[in-house]
Structure 1
Amino acid sequence: MENEWKKCRRILCIRPDNIGDLLMSTPAIRALKQSFNCHITVLVSSLGAAAVPEIPEIDEAIVFDVPWVQTTGVPDPAQFYRLVKKLREGRFDAAVIFTVYSQNPMPSIMLAYLAEIPLRLAYCRENPYQLLTHWVPDEEPYTCIRHQVTRDLELVARIGAATEDQHLSIQAKEILWPAVCEKLLLLGLDPRKPWIVLHPEVSEQKRRYPVRDWITAGRKIKAATNCQILITGKNNAEEAGEMAAGIGNRAFAAAGLFDLAELTILIKHAPLLLSVNTGTVHIAAAVHTPVLVLYALTNPQHTPWRVTNKVLYFDVPAPLQSKNEVVKYVYRSFSAEKLPLATPDKIAKMTQAMLALTAASSGSFEEPHALS
């Protein structure tokens, strides 16, 4: 069965989610490209599309907000039929459908089937019969929970695709750093002095960390480290401004100031990223910047990949908790564990501990006993 895939020259990867989801699939996409020497097209959402030009393993993108994934677009059936026609005209040899274990893969599987793509690979709980040519029964999360990167790599391994380089992929363009520095200086932040990036913006409200606690943590960080704090985001200018004002001097609101390429090089040069669990965490992993994550009790498989990191957790308010029964099953077990909590005091102490490290090391590390 693997021999069929070795003949593939045009492979469609279906990953219609956010930037972070696409970045976590890049090691698997690299495995496909290296193993089969093929042209890679990704089907991505309008949210994920911004990352495509910065991912060298991707040759082409088709941007479409599918109705079975939470995105900003709302396509009508006529647009969907046009997408099917476009995919059929693409004459793809194969399609690989990447999913989170809590997602239903069937709509994406059906899309590839209707587009008459000959080889179709995906995880699926139910027997898809003729809809998939290569079916991998999905055991998550009931038997095990793997990191999303591992999940995707193990999917493509089923058809003989592998790579020695399992790091996330995104280009950090050093040519942009002088312009980014200029923007920082205009804000009042001196990049030659200690500074960190603080990223509070979320794509889902259930992952939002309270502004008042951000402010408290920011004040404690500033007092303990004498660091400048740069508050980033795209569409959260009011939130960033409130936080900067609350933290006080040496805190700077930069929401909307950087595009994705600039944000990437900014994070690469930052000594530390402090962020909620969103796409910035995976950018930091891709550019090897240490990251401290305030992680909402949602999907536990999206923690930082192969980068110095620490994870602190906070609960999701009951009205915002997912109605997805798979997510609810994981939440019940996940929330029962004794996890380090994302209190302002804990955030400040861990920030201080991470900044004290003289060199980043791969993987997570334990909190020093003195800060327990």
Structure 2
Amino acid sequence: MNKIRFKTEIWSGDNALNALETINQQHIFIVTDPFMVESGKIESITAKLTDQNELKIFSDIVPDPPINKIISGMTALNEFNATMVIAVGGGSAIDAAKAMKFFAQRVFKKQETITFIAVPTTSGTGSEVTNFSVLTDAEAGVKYPLVTDDILPQVALLDANLVKTAPQNITADTGMDVLTHCLEAYVSINATDFSDSFAEKAFQLVFENIEKVSRNGDDLSARQKMHHASCLAGMAFNLANLGLNHGIAHAAGAKFHIPHGRLNTILLPQIIKYNANLENDLNSTAAQKYSHLAKLIGLSASNPRIGIRSLTNAICQLRKKLNMPDSFHNYGLTKETFNHYKNDIAQAALRDGTTKSNPRKPNKEDVLSILDASFG
């Protein structure tokens, strides 16, 4: 039996930020990154919050939020007696805010409800609607997923105006992360009709709009569509989980420090080939579903083999159009560094919580083969 529940309310569309003006009499703990503060962009949020609220901004956020930053944040949140948390930023800021709120309530035994609003400024992670938060032990070089419905935001606020100034490389990285979310949720062993519907729509939106926003960041219509795609893909994998692509990306990201979406994109063609398993089963569920996605975007897919070839080629062509590397080597990683860490990465990927829902159960040799094929 599947239980389908959507806890997060979504505010979207023109001037969605204006909804913040209705908030009153709150102690609002704003979690964001230094750029948002230094550039003054955080004022697009604070200007909407009336003087009847008390605000505190915590901006000590870095990519792949380490545990020590979470501890600092949860301590500050408690000392401020926050009644509301607003996370503003990409996945790192939102993931960090989730963990701060979660641990603060438990460590300091806070019984009162703390409202949580997530305001993404990138179209990529879908973190605003997921019960996932990925934290990093910087010393050990290990990423740990925190997975619980207790960290789901009550509100996700999607406003394309917050995304339009994102640079091309960030737009491409985050957009291809969305595409990876779609593909992994779609072929997950936990996929349902509900998660499939979100994944299919998000997949189509990415292919229709990612090139547009990469070429012209001021295209607000395409920006909003990518924002919606990110959210829909997040809803899909929140129901179905992800797979080996993210399992390897989490492990490799902790060692190589390659941007997450870029790392996912390097791995994606090899993951599709592995999951489809055409050498042994032409009609596997994953192969059939990949082929169906090819049809959805108008590619040739008269049988699974042709559909998967069409899909993989389309992804490789898209990657090239977005000026993204097609291998670890072309990213700039040396063979020496790659070989030094690849066994540790393979072992960590097999332990990662996202790998367990992959359509094929991998072993260490499988992961090493995917890594080697992705080195270039």
- Greater fraction of residues in helix: 2
TM-score, normalised to structure 1, is 0.30
TM-score, normalised to structure 2, is 0.30
Task: Report the structure number with the largest CA radius of gyration.
Answer: 1
- Greater fraction of residues in strand: 1
